[in-house]
Homo-oligomer: A and B are copies of this chain.
Amino acid sequence: MENVVIRQLVRNTARYENQEVELCGWIRTNRDQKSFGFMALNDGTHFTTVQVVYEKDGLDNFEEVAHYRAGSAISVRGLLVLTPQAPQPFEIKARKVVLLGDSPEDYPIQPKRHTREFLREQAHLRSRTNLFAAVFRVRSVAAYAIHKFFQENGFLYVHTPVITASDAEGAGEMFRVTTLDAKQPPLNEAGEADFSQDFFGRRANLTVSGQLEAEAFALAFRDVYTFGPTFRAENSNTARHAAEFWMIEPEIAFADLEDNMNLAEAMVKYVINYVLESLPEEMAFFNQFVDKNLQARLDSVVGSKFAHISYNRAIEILKAAEETFAYPVEWGHDLQTEHERYLSERIFSKPVFVTDYPRDLKAFYMRQNDDGKTVAAMDLLVPGVGELIGGSQREERVEKLEQRIKELKLDERELWWYLELRKYGGVKHAGFGLGFERLIMYITGVSNIRDVVPFPRTVKSCEF
Contact = CB atoms under 8 A, between A and B. Distances in A.
Interface stretch (A260-268, A320-328, A453-461): A453-461
Contacts of A292: none
A164 B71 CA distance: 27
Interface in A124-155: 124-125, 127-128, 133, 136-137, 139-141, 143-144, 147, 151, 154
Interface in A199-237: 199-204, 206, 213, 216-217, 220-223, 228-229, 231, 233, 235
Contact of A147 (B144, B154, B244, B454): B144
Interface in A422-456: 422-428, 453-455
Nearest to A23: B254
A66 to B, nearest CB: 18
Interface in A169-195: 173, 175-180, 182-183, 185, 187, 191-193, 195
Contacts of A44: 156, 220-223, 253
Interface residues of A, number: 108
A415 B459 CA distance: 21
A211 B446 CA distance: 27
B183 A183 contact: no
Interface stretch (A55-63, A99-107, A333-341): A99-107
A424 B103 contact: yes
From A136, A137, A195, A233, name the one whose CB has the most chain B CB atoms within 10 angstroms. A136
A191 B183 contact: yes
A290 interface: no
B179 A178 contact: no
B229 A159 contact: yes
A348 interface: no
A417 B301 CA distance: 40
Given A44-B220, A179-B233, A216-B464, 19 more contacts: A44-B156, A45-B154, A72-B425, A73-B427, A100-B428, A101-B427, A107-B424, A124-B420, A125-B220, A139-B159, A141-B151, A143-B157, A161-B244, A185-B185, A200-B457, A200-B461, A200-B462, A213-B455, A228-B229
Interface of A: 5, 7, 24, 26-27, 43-45, 71-73, 75, 100-104, 107-109, 123-125, 127-128, 133, 136-137, 139-141, 143-144, 147, 151, 154, 156-166, 173, 175-180, 182-183, 185, 187, 191-193, 195, 199-204, 206, 213, 216-217, 220-223, 228-229, 231, 233, 235, 243-244, 246, 253-254, 396, 417-418, 420-428, 453-455, 457, 459-464
13 contacts: A43-B254, A44-B223, A139-B157, A159-B229, A159-B246, A164-B462, A164-B464, A176-B177, A177-B177, A180-B182, A200-B461, A201-B462, A213-B455
